[in-house]
Amino acid sequence: MELQIINLTESSISSGSPRFTLRLEADRYARDDICSRAFVFLCFRIFRDYMIQRTKFKLVVYIFLLAIGGSLVVWLMLYQSALSRDYERLGQLRAVQAELAAYYARFNTYVIPRCSLGAAISACAGEGDRQLPFAQIADPLNSNGYQYTVGAMSDDDYRVNFGLEIGLAGLSPGGYGMTKGGIIK
């Protein structure tokens, strides 16, 4: 709305001329328009600042949720890989148990030539006609207590020591020994 500057005289003010009344209404509309624009601007600023703060809060929440989700995925991957290594261990030890049973049936002893106590089972290949295919059998980690070692060898029994990371089949994590009778703690 465009305002005109009107020269008012005292006589027109006192007489209550329509020009003066028009001027007062125009000023009022101008003030209302300025006030409403200022109010809208102020409301917009407050709303914008609120939305920015709210967006920052949302961003923090989303980052937090993403970190929790990511850590769960990493934990699940580590757990599953340890579980699969435990399954591989038990499978390899079943193969060792079957080979030792066949060895016992053939030679009537579990003693393997050149195989000492505490040695890795992969080093117990034997010699001559008393050889075993243990060269390729090794723990998936093969370090820090996760090795297949000879715990005992006698004419009628043996013990192969191993460890489980997660535990499975009713076995808890920790060290075990495999004998001709099965797995013992």
3-state DSSP of 89-152? HHHHHHHHHHHHHHHHHHHCCCCCCCCCCCCEHHHCCEECCEECCCCCCCCCCCECCECCEEEE
pLDDT of residue 70: 93
For residue 20, what are the domain limits? 10-185
Q: How many domains does the chain have?
A: 1
pLDDT of residue 26: 53
pLDDT of residue 29: 55
pLDDT one digit per residue (tens) for the chain, 185 residues: 454 444 444 444 455 555 544 455 555 555 666 667 777 777 777 777 776 777 778 888 889 999 999 999 999 999 998 888 888 888 888 888 888 888 888 888 888 888 888 888 877 777 777 777 777 777 777 777 788 888 888 888 888 888 888 878 788 888 888 888 887 78
Whether residue 174 lies inside any domain: the answer is yes
Q: What are the CA-CA distances from residue 141 to residues 79, 88, 147, 148, 178 (Å)? A: 14, 11, 8, 10, 18
Whether residue 44 lies inside any domain: the answer is yes
Whether residue 133 lies inside any domain: the answer is yes
Strand, helix or coil for residue 68: helix
Whether residue 3 lies inside any domain: the answer is no
Strand, helix or coil for residue 21: helix
pLDDT of residue 125: 76
pLDDT of residue 28: 58
Alpha carbon distance 34, 92 (integer Å): 85
Whether residue 1 lies inside any domain: the answer is no
Whether residue 5 lies inside any domain: the answer is no
Check residue 169 and give left, alpha or beta (phi > 0: left; psi -120 to 50: alpha): left
Alpha carbon distance 98, 90 (integer Å): 12
Whether residue 28 lies inside any domain: the answer is yes
Best CA proximity match to 121, nearest among 92, 141, 144: 92
Whether residue 146 lies inside any domain: the answer is yes
